[in-house]
Amino acid sequence: MHELIPGAAVPIPTMGAPSFDIPARPERHFPGTGGVEYRGGTVFELVPAAGEVAGSTADEPSDADRTEANRSDVDRPDVDRTDADLAETDLADADLVQTVDEVLGAGPYQYGDFHELPMPLWLVRDRETGDAFRVAVRNGEVQLHVLPRTDAPGLRAFYERLETASEDHCWRVRVRQKE
């Protein structure tokens, strides 16, 4: 289960198995210049963690952490993670991309990638659950971006497949509500 404080700068996970309950869905907007934009929504951040219980969640940040941070590191392009940070999360982005590719290739997924972007990004549809969502790899984590018609079963199934494909580590799950 996750606790999400509306407007909190730092994601606040709580202990328990990941439920993938979606606290906020993005809204589609169609700008006059064409295309589609999403405003708001939810991102589930799957962080590799050596030696932790599968599905465990990150420690809750202190009040000082909540007050000091304006945004999570995920949203901050000015934050560069060092090799020490990657060691803390256990895997580099290239390793995570390979794992995500394996999960998508082996699963019941229809997907397309957008590797010309600054980070690997896939648009994914789970053929079993019918759920569509985006998967990104950034800063040592796998991010599941909720779309307007995404439901928890598709996210949970992807997480379970990712967990199965990850023999040497477990995953912490954080939830972040986008403004």
Please, are residues 104 and 144 in contact by the beta-carbon 8 Å criterion?
A: no
In a domain, 3, yes or no: no
Calculate the alpha carbon distances from 132 to 13, 71, 89, 110, 149 in Å: 24, 26, 27, 9, 7
Please, are residues 23 and 177 in contact by the beta-carbon 8 Å criterion?
A: yes
Position 109 scores a pLDDT of 96
In a domain, 160, yes or no: yes
Please, are residues 172 and 56 in contact by the beta-carbon 8 Å criterion?
A: yes
Average pLDDT over residues 85-89: 40
CA atoms within 13 A on the CB side of 14: 8
Give the whole-angstrom CA distance, residue 123 versus residue 121: 7
Count: domains in the chain:
1
In a domain, 41, yes or no: yes
Average pLDDT over residues 65-71: 31
Position 57 scores a pLDDT of 44
Least confident segment among 96-105, 130-139, 160-169 = 160-169
Domain that holds residue 93: 27-178
Please, are residues 144 and 133 in contact by the beta-carbon 8 Å criterion?
A: yes
Helices H / strands E in the chain, number of each: 4, 8
Position 25 scores a pLDDT of 93
In a domain, 7, yes or no: no
Position 55 scores a pLDDT of 46
Average pLDDT, the chain: 75
